[in-house]
Structure 1
Amino acid sequence: MHLKIWWHVKEGGKLYEGDFTRNNRVVGVLWANKRDSELWFAPPDWRECRLGIQVLPILPITEVLFSDVGYVKQLVKWTSPALHTEKWKGFAYALEGISNKENALKKTRKLKGFDDGNSLTNLLWWIHS
């Protein structure tokens, strides 16, 4: 899948230069001739938004897009220190549920808000499925 090749930045990956690979786990915007760490609505340090925009909406295909459990662990670890906005946390917790269901469920049940197109029901369905 091209998404995994171009947008997923794995630790030690060789597709992008060393500095970019060391500082990123997901591409923000991919252009024809460059890649950016930021999104059109968020600066590079809003990692939760970069993770979220790649995950939403949470659908059965998400399991295929994020099937590399090792990469998912890297992405969640990279994003976790930047989880500040309640509505974006759910997407990180959804991915965390791939490798650590119990921890993801505890965190998800404490959420007070959800991004448009996401809900507690959706997250619980995803983590339990």
Structure 2
Amino acid sequence: MGSAYGDADLVSLGSTLAAFEIQSAQTWWHVKGDNKIYAPRFVKNNKVVGILWSRKRDSILWFAPAERKDIRLGIQVLPILPITEVVFSDVDYVKELVKWALTSVPKNRTEEGWKGFVYALEAIYKQKQALNEVRDLSSHDD
């Protein structure tokens, strides 16, 4: 908006707020192998947080069990925007995250709507393969 109005101060403010949001998402929601915030057992079994409370974290979501890793990934990717690639800029982590999430995707095609979000992240490092996988989906979640 700052660019549209020619307001350099607003551009600076928006850039700063975006940087803070990216850093906080990567710190609190992304669970990398070297994570020191969460217990080692949680880090071993998770790549993203499902729900972050004031005093605890969960692997579940309000509407999905912990086993549906593809849905947890999707919640962290929504909405897919140009800045999503910046939020998920650690390609090694993204590869681990995609591999982790794909282990929980249901085999029946009627429940594959959340796969599109997994493939959106896969496109960061395997564009053609991800595009073909998205084209093969029978449905997409919105």
Q: Please tell me the TM-score bracket, short chain as reference.
A: 0.7 to 0.9
1:64 aligns with 2:90: no
Per the TM alignment, residue 12 of structure 1 is displaced from its structure 2 partner at its CA by 3.2
In structure 1, the partner of 2:74 is 52
1:54 maps to a residue whose letter is Q
What is the CA-CA distance between 1:109 and the residue it aligns to? 1.1
Kindly name which structure, 1 or 2, has the bigger radius of gyration based on alpha carbons: 2
Identity percentage of aligned residues: 57
**Residue identity opposite 2:68 in structure 1:** W
Name the SS of the counterpart of 2:122 in structure 1: helix
CA distance in 1, matches of 2:126, 2:36: 28
Q: 2:124 aligns with which of 80, 98, 117?
A: 98
**Structure-1 residue corresponding to 2:28:** 6
How much does 1:52 deviate? 0.4
- Aligned to 2:67, the other structure's residue is in SS state coil
Unaligned ranges ≥5, structure 1: 117-129
The counterpart of 1:19, out of the listed 29, 37, 41, is 41
**Number of aligned positions between the proteins:** 116
**Which residue matches 1:125?**
none
Structure 2 stretches lacking a partner, 5+ long? 1-22
TM-score norm. by structure 2 comes to 0.78
| 2:90 aligned partner, one-letter code | D
Deviation, 1:101, is 1.2
How many Å apart are 1:71 and its aligned residue?
Answer: 0.9
Q: How far is 1:106 from its partner?
A: 1.7
Q: Normalising to structure 1: TM-score of the pair?
A: 0.86
Task: Kindly provide the amino acid, as one letter, of the partner of residue 118 in structure 2.
Answer: A
1:11–1:74 contact (8 Å) kept in structure 2: no
Counterpart contact for 1:10–1:25, Cα < 8 Å: yes
Tell me which of the two structures has the higher relative contact order, counting C-alpha pairs closer than 8 angstroms and 6 or more residues apart.
Answer: 1
Per-residue Cα deviation, 1:30-51 (whole angstroms, up to 9, x for no partner): 0111100000111110101100
Deviation at 1:103, TM superposition (A): 1.5
On the 8 A contact 1:9/1:24 being kept in 2, the answer is yes
> In the alignment, residue 79 of structure 2 is paired with which amino acid?
P
> Counterpart amino acid of 2:38?
Y
Q: Contact conserved, 1:88 with 1:114, CA < 8 A, in 2? A: yes
Matching residue's letter, 1:86: E
